[in-house]
Structure 1
Amino acid sequence: MQLEFFPSPSLMRYLAKLFIVRILAVLIMLVLVLQTLDLLSESGKIMGVPGNGEAQLWHYVSLRMPQLIARFLPYSVLLATIITLATLNQNSEVVAMKAAGLSAHQVLAPLLMTAGAISVVSFAFNEAVVTRTTGTLKAWQAVEYKPIPPDAKVRANVYLPDGPHILAAGAVSGTGALTRMDNVTWYRRDSTAMVLEQVRAPHATYANPGWRLDRPVSFDVKGTRRAELPSTIVAKGITPAQVAISKVDPDGQNFIELYRSIKALKAQGRRTGELEGKWWHKFSGPLAALLMPLLGAIAAFGLARSGQLLIRAIIGMALGFAYFVIDNAALAMGNFGGYPPLIAAWAPFLLFALVGETVLVRTEE
């Protein structure tokens, strides 16, 4: 039996079922609590917009819940690993499996196989659902929960330089000459980048050349004067083609779309290190679920009556949360150019896989 990685089919089904049930229970609990708190904090903003009602609240929930599921699924796997293994240890089931000749890796094999399947499902869910809902939610939030144009390519918080000046838009929709900007601000600056004037407008459309501001309001910074202006054209050096590649949201694009965006930005000579790190993380991120049984495995071994079960569970939890901290830190370092994108995305996973395996071998094997 020591030469076989997987235990008997009956034991595989038993352990996998225990694990899956606990993952779902923890995930549902976390998502419901966090969604309730999040909705309470945002409901005032949503209902404050004329015309919004209960339907908009449910629409917000439908957009926000996939983000919460994707974010907290690895945490759920970690907590479910510790609960499952601690329970098995407390009931001496691990002792029975060890007495039957199973190694520590064979005891963990059903959990690792289940976590691997969850990683695959997580990747598909992120690329097919989460990216779409994230892009829609950001665009909706950019217009402060007002109705947004029915355009699947809406982009939020776009900043476009035109010499020393800046054209900023809360949301951009459409393509080519039909490009439309909402919540627009034109910053007129001098050669030292000091803002001389701000011109705000609810909308802007392409005027070929330049962008026509609808009902603009000017604020003279030096004179502190506010004035309503007629329809004004600004930013004549900015074209719709520049707008199309000015804002790439890696969280709102799947890995195929993000790869194409990176190629387009590289062709324009733009820096893409941050986007490349996010692209690699689309593959390494879901594998966090596969890593959790290995990091939480310390809770399974050692005699429960020794009084160290709680300490082992805390150590397993600490290892799991340390992975998430290091993973976010490495990704941030990659965004600043401290690490190459490939290393920033994959180094934490490989490091903690070695740490988990080392702890498992030293404590049990």
Structure 2
Amino acid sequence: MNLHFFPSRRIALYMSRMFVVRSFAVLAALVLVLQTLDLLGESGKILAQPGNGDAQLWYYVSLRFPQLIARFLPFSVLLGTLITLATLNQHSEVISMKAAGISAHQIIAPLVVASIGIAIVTFVFQERVVTRATAALSSWAAVDYGRVPPESGVIENVWVKHGDDLVHARQVYGRGATTRLRDVTVYHREGGTLTGTISGVDARQAEGGWRLSPAKSFDVTTGTVRTAPSATVGQGITSDQFTLARVSADQQDFMTLKRSIEELKRAGRPTGPLEASLWHKLSGPVSAVLMPLLAGVAAFGLARSGQLFLRAIIGMALGFAYFVVDNFALAMGNFGAYPPLLAAWAPFLLFLLIGETVLIRTEE
């Protein structure tokens, strides 16, 4: 009996190379098709902005492309595994390895190790590229693909409740004392009834509140509109109420999101959904490791028996079932029905057991 982890160095390299090449080939095909369709849907909005042209279309592609890669890489690994194992089975290479005393676990082992490498690359890619691209694209879309202000750390569409009043800022820049608000509207209410509004282009922290300039007020009772160079609004509202009002997990890397969660906890805000997203930043890339196990059913069984296609369908169904359960668990975590750790890791552990069970039954 062969007790080594890998069947042999040559076979391991052969299978790993075949698996990686096919996975990234599937990824390239998927992303190119989806990017083309997505660009067709958004190009009208981008070109509708005066001054935008081909350069802005390519800029949009450069921001959207990383998002598509990160989203569909696990699907590509699943399909790449199925294609690799089905090809090996069809050419009787799996039968040759089994006849040489190589177990099912040893056949799958090179693919699992290669998928661990893909998971690491995926995590680094998401942390260094995807989060920044998502933040930049979100800021650009918030201004209808027009000119984005040069400030960094932009948060879009922030609502803050202060007493009965509601404060809406289309964009929030900076943190702490340097926080700035843009396109601000304050809705004054009494007993839930709107009594007036005051709006302005820019707002900065000032003594006693926020200095809004220029200020335009509207009184609902009299129907009059007044303008002023500036006005002080939001007395008692701190900058944290704006910067922490809308924390996007997709736009922050792991450590930044962890710090945001700690700040929210100190402010007494609920953090369950963000904690689930934090842990999913780890469990998401690691899902690539599951794909060889779930698709392993396609590797075994005689190809001439006519069941190879059925086995490939079963492997694909197991893989897509994982993605469905993973999205469901994450949604339940966002609603607070599941604890954050359970929402992020339970689907992975469940399908790890399912994949291992299928592989053991196949080996028997």
SS of 1:314's partner is: helix
SS of 2:258's partner is: helix
SS of 1:285's partner is: helix
**Residue 310 (structure 1) aligns with:** 309
Amino acid at match of 2:268: G
**Residue 31 (structure 1) aligns with:** 31
**What percentage of residue pairs aligned between the two structures are identical?**
59
How far residue 128 of structure 1 moved from its aligned partner, in angstroms, is 1.2
Give yes or no for contact 1:143–1:171 (8 Å, CA) kept in 2.
no
How far residue 226 of structure 1 moved from its aligned partner, in angstroms, is 8.5
Give yes or no for contact 1:217–1:226 (8 Å, CA) kept in 2.
no
**Residue 209 (structure 2) aligns with:** 210
Mapping of 1:31-180 within 5 angstroms? 31-180=31-180
Give yes or no for contact 1:143–1:182 (8 Å, CA) kept in 2.
no
Give yes or no for contact 1:197–1:220 (8 Å, CA) kept in 2.
yes
Alpha-carbon distance between aligned partners in 1 of 2:317 and 2:83, rounded to the nearest angstrom: 14
Alpha-carbon distance between aligned partners in 2 of 1:222 and 1:331, rounded to the nearest angstrom: 46
Amino acid at match of 1:255: F
Q: Does 1:285 align with 2:284?
A: yes
**Residue 271 (structure 2) aligns with:** 272
How far residue 74 of structure 1 moved from its aligned partner, in angstroms, is 0.3
Q: TM-score of the superposition, structure 2-length normalised?
A: 0.93
**Residue 354 (structure 1) aligns with:** 353
Alpha-carbon distance between aligned partners in 1 of 2:104 and 2:113, rounded to the nearest angstrom: 14
How far residue 209 of structure 1 moved from its aligned partner, in angstroms, is 3.1
Q: TM-score of the superposition, structure 1-length normalised?
A: 0.93
Give yes or no for contact 2:172–2:243 (8 Å, CA) kept in 1.
no
SS of 2:149's partner is: coil
Amino acid at match of 2:359: L
Give yes or no for contact 2:82–2:295 (8 Å, CA) kept in 1.
yes
Gaps of 5+ in 1: none
Q: CA RMSD in A?
A: 2.1
Mapping of 1:175-324 within 5 angstroms? 175-192=175-192, 194-214=193-213, 227=225, 229-230=227-228, 231-324=230-323
Give yes or no for contact 1:215–1:228 (8 Å, CA) kept in 2.
no
SS of 1:318's partner is: helix
SS of 1:172's partner is: strand
Give yes or no for contact 2:120–2:285 (8 Å, CA) kept in 1.
yes
Amino acid at match of 2:190: D
Give yes or no for contact 1:143–1:170 (8 Å, CA) kept in 2.
no
Alpha-carbon distance between aligned partners in 2 of 1:342 and 1:102, rounded to the nearest angstrom: 37
How far residue 203 of structure 1 moved from its aligned partner, in angstroms, is 3.7
Alpha-carbon distance between aligned partners in 1 of 2:125 and 2:176, rounded to the nearest angstrom: 31
| Cα deviation 1:213-235 (Å, max 9, x = unaligned) | 44566677789x68564444432
| Cα deviation 1:248-299 (Å, max 9, x = unaligned) | 2111111111111111111111111111111111111100111111111111
| 1:116 to 1:226, Cα distance in 2 relative to 1, 3 A | farther
Give yes or no for contact 2:155–2:243 (8 Å, CA) kept in 1.
no
Gaps of 5+ in 2: none
How far residue 197 of structure 1 moved from its aligned partner, in angstroms, is 4.3
| 1:362 to 1:212, Cα distance in 2 relative to 1, 3 A | same
How far residue 84 of structure 1 moved from its aligned partner, in angstroms, is 0.8
SS of 1:182's partner is: strand
Count of residues in Structure 1 that have an aligned counterpart in Structure 2: 363
Amino acid at match of 2:128: A
Alpha-carbon distance between aligned partners in 1 of 2:118 and 2:346, rounded to the nearest angstrom: 21
Alpha-carbon distance between aligned partners in 2 of 1:51 and 1:210, rounded to the nearest angstrom: 37
